[in-house]
Structure 1
Amino acid sequence: MFTIFRGGRSGAWRVTRFASVKGASLVPTPSVSVVHALSITLPIMPSPTAWRLAGVSSHLRYTERAEKQQLDASPAEIGRPEATYAALIPIKKSAAWWELTQEERRQILEDKSRHIAGSLKYLPAVARQLFHSRDLGEPFDFLTWFEYAPAYAEEFEELVRTLRASEEWKFVEREIDIRMERERLDAG
């Protein structure tokens, strides 16, 4: 199953902030829609789309058994009604990152950066879903989707600051930070 994020004039998520953190930006849009599909190709929609990013969720690649057990103990589900804030953070890593072996990437990811262990304290308040895009020929390697309630906005900011200050982030060559709020449906 593919997940497609489309930036355009309409969508379930209203963009509140759109920033290029590193590298070239995407075209800023007022809304983002999220579609789950069996194919990356979507029919043309009546509302113009400025950009489309696709990814697929996958198995845990760098997680060890004890870390998986900790993650399973604090499930953070996407789609919770109270999680009306979201962030889409597409990331592209450098060629130097991909030239490393998986073991070397794991050492940087966890042993030096504490990516998994450091993120555990934000669960289940901040839910995260990682989508892999590199093997699909997409412009980013990963699309990270976060959802959280407004009450946890500062915790989310702390999580992002921590990840960007890590050894792993030195390998990021492109990152966009798109913050959103779920559009409310009018009653009646």
Structure 2
Amino acid sequence: MFTTFRGGQSGGWRVSLLAPVTGEPLAPTPALAVVRAESIALPLLPSQTSWRLAGVASHVRYVERGEMQALTAAQAGLGRREATCAALIPIRKSPAWWELTQEARRQIFEDKSHHIASSMKYLPAIARQLYHCRDLGEPFDFLTWFEYAPEHATMFEELVGLLRATEEWTYVEREVDVRMVRED
């Protein structure tokens, strides 16, 4: 199942912040639509869409069985009624990251950066989904989607700050931070 994020004039989410963290920004847009389909959804007319990013939720990488079980037990699903805040954080890692072996990436991801272990305390308050897009010809490698209730906004900022301070993030060459509020 493909998920397409369309920045444009309309959508279920009102964009409250769109800022480059590292590298090129995305074009400003007032709204975001999230479309799930069997194939990558084509963009709307250019006047209606500022940009389109697509990815696929795939099997989880760099995770060992016990970590996967803990994540599955702790995480909440997307679309919760109270989760009216969201963040889309597209990320592209450097060629140096992709030149590492799978084992070396795992070592940086968890053994050194503690990505999973550090993130566990933020679940289930913050729901998340990772979409892979590196092999789809997209401008980013991953699209990270988070949903949370307004009272968990400080927790989300803490989580993002924690992850951006890790060794893993030294391999990020492009990152954009898009924050939204659900339109009802």
TM over 0.5, shorter chain: yes
Deviations 1:93-115 (A, max 9, x none): 00000000000000000011000
Judged with a 3 Å threshold, the aligned counterparts in structure 2 of structure 1 residues 97 and 43 are, in CA distance, closer, same or farther, namely: closer
Alignment of 1:11-90 (within 5 A): 11-42=11-42, 44=44, 48-90=48-90
Q: How many Å separate the matches in 1 of 2:156 and 2:98?
A: 28
C-alpha separation in 1, matches of 2:164 and 2:135: 24
* Aligned amino acid, residue 122 of structure 1: Y
Counterpart CA distance in 1 for 2:47 and 2:147 is 25
Distance 1:37 1:45 in 2: 18
Query: Aligned-pair distance for 1:42?
Result: 2.5
TM-score of the pair, normalised by structure 2? 0.97
Given the superposition, is the C-alpha separation of residues 46 and 113 from structure 1 closer, same or farther in structure 2, using an over 3 Å criterion? closer
Residue 76 (structure 1) shift: 1.2
- Equivalenced residues, count: 184
Which amino acid is 2:145 matched to? Answer: W
Contact 1:14–1:31 (CA under 8 A) maintained in structure 2: yes
What residue identity is the alignment partner of 2:15? V
| Percent of pairs with identical residues | 69
Task: Give the whole-Å Cα distance in 2 for the aligned partners of 1:118 and 1:161.
Answer: 11
The residue number in structure 2 matching 1:160 is 160
Cα distance in 2 between the residues matched to 1:88 and 1:20: 12
Aligned residue in 2 for 1:113: 113
1:41 & 1:76 partners in 2: Cα distance? 26
Residues 43 and 150 of structure 1, relative CA distance in 2, 3 Å threshold: closer
Specify every segment of 5 or more residues in structure 1 that has no aligned partner in the other structure, as ranges. Answer: none
For normalisation by structure 1, the TM-score amounts to 0.95
State the secondary structure of the residue aligned to 2:118. helix
Shift of 1:61: 1.0
